[in-house]
Amino acid sequence: MRQISVDTSNATVMVAKAPQPKVKDRRTGEIAIDKDGVTLMVVEVMFSTPDEVEILKLTVPQSGVSEDLTMGTPVVLTGLVASAWENEFNGQKRHGIAFRAVAVTSLAAAGSASKAA
């Protein structure tokens, strides 16, 4: 599957919903892990550019998620990529775009650290 890098240089990004473990199977509650055995998290962010605002649901390895992410926290996204997906379930085709990031890092901690200095 082809991944397309997403330019975040002109975007303002804030947490829309606190991180939660990504569920692989809703019936069993099984949590998703990556190929290295790291738990995957879902972080919803408000991605705002001068032209539009969208809520993106990102998949991020747990090790790449800042501990202090709450709704409204300004963040920086590292390694954000988009991938198109398509599947068929019960005879119905579905498709969309999945977003994945290497890290979601709070800018609030950096701001308070510089104020303390």
* Entry pTM: 0.83
The residue-averaged pLDDT of 61-79 equals: 94
For residue 112, is pLDDT > 60?
A: no
For residues 9 and 112, the model is more confident at 9
Rounded to 10 degrees, the C-alpha dihedral 63/8/69/54 comes to: -120
Q: Count CA atoms closer than 13 A to 68's CA, side-chain side.
A: 10
For residue 79, is pLDDT > 70?
A: yes
The residue-averaged pLDDT of 61-65 equals: 95
- Annotate 31-65 with DSSP letters as a single string: EPB-TTSPBEEEEEEEEE-SS-EEEEEEEEEGGGB
pLDDT, tens digit (0-9, with 9 covering 90-100), for 19-58: 999 999 889 999 999 999 999 999 999 999 999 999 999 9
For residues 40 and 112, the model is more confident at 40
Predicted confidence at residue 77, as pLDDT, reads 96
